Chain A
Amino acid sequence: MQKKRRSYTKKGKGEENKRKLKEKVVEILELPKEVVMDLPKITMFGNRNLLVENFKGIIEYDDNIIRINTGRGIIKVSGEKLVIKEITLEDLMIDGDIVSLEFLK
């Protein structure tokens, strides 16, 4: 058991290193991060409009809360009268009075 767990941590550590290396390479080469590192790109127009690119799917959808699954954790958007204006494989547009935007691990 212990051995196994250690191997897990080792793997995690290896991945962590790999990620840091990748981040550095991306920074040096000035590549678009959302493509190379699979990060969500979030664009906001005031508090009325939110555009999320490169997401995985929605977890929860309600009038007041929308939780979006991305490659790196979950984005939680809360507000009032939230409407998904458009949803495709690449991007997701939310309209409404957005109050807060949180990143959950």
Chain B
Amino acid sequence: MLLFRLWNYIRGYVIIVVEGYFLEKFVNICTRRQILLLDIKRQKNSKMTLKVSIKGFRMLKPIAKKTGCRVKILKKHGLPFLINRYKSRKTFLLGAALFIVLFYIMTSFVWTIEVTGNKKIESQIIIERLTFMGVRPGVLKYRVNPEKIADRIIMDVDGLSYVNVMVRGTKIKVEVAEGVDVPPMVPLSEPCDIVAKKDGVIKSIIVKAGQVAVEEGDTVKKGQLLVSGNIPIKNMEDSPRKVHAIGRVMARTWYETTQPVELRVVEKIRTGQKKDNISLVLFSKKIDLFSEKVDYSDYDRVETEKFLSIGENLVLPFGAVIETYYENDITEAEVSLEEAKENAASVAYRKALEDVPEGAQIIDRRIEFVEGENGDIIADVIIECLEDIGVKKEIER
């Protein structure tokens, strides 16, 4: 029934009032002349309302004359009337048409490129490759051949195992997957030693090839020989067998940092004053709109970029960059000793952590507060780690 009503709306219909004494005759003649009448409602005072199509309405006049009825339009419904109303408004129609044409043109360009799936390889490298191939914002999207581009990217950029290029709306989506790095070849034919790369106390040694030079519990210095690649042979002390030493030397290492405890803390507090500098971005060109000089003595700058987009994929080349400057008020405040100590300890700990290499296992941490010469307190943080300190060093033949 909905379809029927929609059809009626598209065709258009009028609700009319028919007044007269021979309404039945009027209806009968209408049906005989193939005029479809809908929703005939009988009113009092020899009146009735009914719906009739526009085409049917034009045929009613002679019938009304014949039966002596008067026909009056009560309401007009449907698309034809709507169109008729806008027919005289040429500018409006022109605007609507222009909008559709512009919209089509705007959406047939590529405006953004999105790279997903990459962890080690930077998106910029892939985007640069795309630019080199002529795929960049502003290019016609029908010129872009996704399969060809995907093939070329996988050939040109090292370390990719899968590339998929999709054109979605005004966005080019590049999905990549990085391949697993091939483990480096161990050059067994080149003899080498294993030496310590930093100071530490040996916890355990596992040797696969070579002669152990230190014992568990030994304290070693940086550069000290740990596993030797020279294996002495009995009775031939002068010419030992030379091997490529392989082994894991786990040692305890310490990282220490200090941080003075400060009772006076400089605090940055946003005063609530802020300024927005708005610039428009049109086709990757920046136009400053409201640009004021920022005369705050200290401020934080936050930049947000917004692009007009329809849905997620249909990004349009219009956007705005809002630079917000928040004024900061710098005040010095006294803090309690406990709090100051805590702050210093956490800062020191964070500093120490930066030195800890990847793969090292933290087994202990200690915080001490030492009083300095001038009576100030210094936080001393020591992190104890367990790590492989062995590093290969070639033997000269």
The residue that A89 contacts in the complex, of B23, B32, B48, with Cβ under 8 A, is: B32
Q: Which residue of B lies closest to A84 (CB)?
A: B40
User: Which A residues are in CB contact (< 8 Å) with B48?
Assistant: 61
Would you call A42 an interface residue if the criterion is a C-beta within 8 Å of the partner chain's C-beta atoms? no
* B24 and A58 form a contact (CB under 8 A): yes
* B41 and A58 form a contact (CB under 8 A): no
* A86 and B36 form a contact (CB under 8 A): yes
* A57 and B28 form a contact (CB under 8 A): yes
Residue total for B at the interface (Cβ-Cβ under 8 A): 17
* A83 and B39 form a contact (CB under 8 A): yes
Chain B, 307-337, contact with A by CB distance < 8 Å: what is the 0/1 string?
Answer: 0000000000000000000000000000000
Chain A, 52-89, contact with B by CB distance < 8 Å: what is the 0/1 string?
Answer: 00000111111100000000000000000011111111
Chain B, 28-40, contact with A by CB distance < 8 Å: what is the 0/1 string?
Answer: 1011101011111
Distance between Cα atoms of A21 and B24 in the complex (Å): 36
User: Which A residues are in CB contact (< 8 Å) with B24?
Assistant: 57-61
Distance between Cα atoms of A61 and B36 in the complex (Å): 17
**Chain A binding surface, main DSSP class:** strand
Residue of A57, A59, A82 contacting most chain B CB atoms (<10 Å): A57
Within 8 A of A (CB), among B1-60: 23-24, 27-28, 30-32, 34, 36-42, 48, 50
* B41 and A87 form a contact (CB under 8 A): no
* A85 and B39 form a contact (CB under 8 A): yes
Residue total for A at the interface (Cβ-Cβ under 8 A): 15
* A86 and B31 form a contact (CB under 8 A): no
The residue that B37 contacts in the complex, of A57, A60, A86, with Cβ under 8 A, is: A86
* A58 and B28 form a contact (CB under 8 A): yes
* A63 and B31 form a contact (CB under 8 A): no
User: Which A residues are in CB contact (< 8 Å) with B39?
Assistant: 83-86
Query: In the assembled complex, how far is the CB of residue A71 from the closest CB belonging to chain B, in whole angstroms?
Result: 15
User: Which B residues are in CB contact (< 8 Å) with A62?
Assistant: 42
User: Which A residues are in CB contact (< 8 Å) with B42?
Assistant: 61-63, 82-83
User: Which B residues are in CB contact (< 8 Å) with A61?
Assistant: 23-24, 27, 40, 42, 48
Query: In the assembled complex, how far is the CB of residue A77 from the closest CB belonging to chain B, in whole angstroms?
Result: 13
Q: Which residue of B lies closest to A56 (CB)?
A: B28
Distance between Cα atoms of A85 and B51 in the complex (Å): 10
Distance between Cα atoms of A57 and B32 in the complex (Å): 9
Query: In the assembled complex, how far is the CB of residue A1 from the closest CB belonging to chain B, in whole angstroms?
Result: 36
Within 8 A of B (CB), among A28-60: 57-60
User: Which B residues are in CB contact (< 8 Å) with A60?
Assistant: 24
Q: Which residue of A lies closest to B34 (CB)?
A: A89
User: Which B residues are in CB contact (< 8 Å) with A59?
Assistant: 24
Query: In the assembled complex, how far is the CB of residue B134 from the closest CB belonging to chain A, in whole angstroms?
Result: 63
Chain B, 54-84, contact with A by CB distance < 8 Å: what is the 0/1 string?
Answer: 0000000000000000000000000000000
Query: In the assembled complex, how far is the CB of residue A75 from the closest CB belonging to chain B, in whole angstroms?
Result: 14
17 contacts between A and B (CB under 8 A): A57-B24, A57-B28, A57-B32, A59-B24, A61-B23, A61-B27, A61-B40, A83-B41, A84-B27, A84-B37, A84-B39, A85-B39, A86-B37, A87-B30, A87-B31, A89-B31, A89-B34
Give A contacts to B, CB under 8 Å.
Answer: 57-63, 82-89
Query: Sorted from nearest, which 4 A-B pairs have the closest CB atoms?
Result: A84-B40, A57-B28, A87-B37, A58-B24
Other than A84-B40, A85-B40, give 5 A-B pairs with Cβ distance below 8 A.
A61-B48, A84-B37, A87-B27, A87-B31, A87-B38
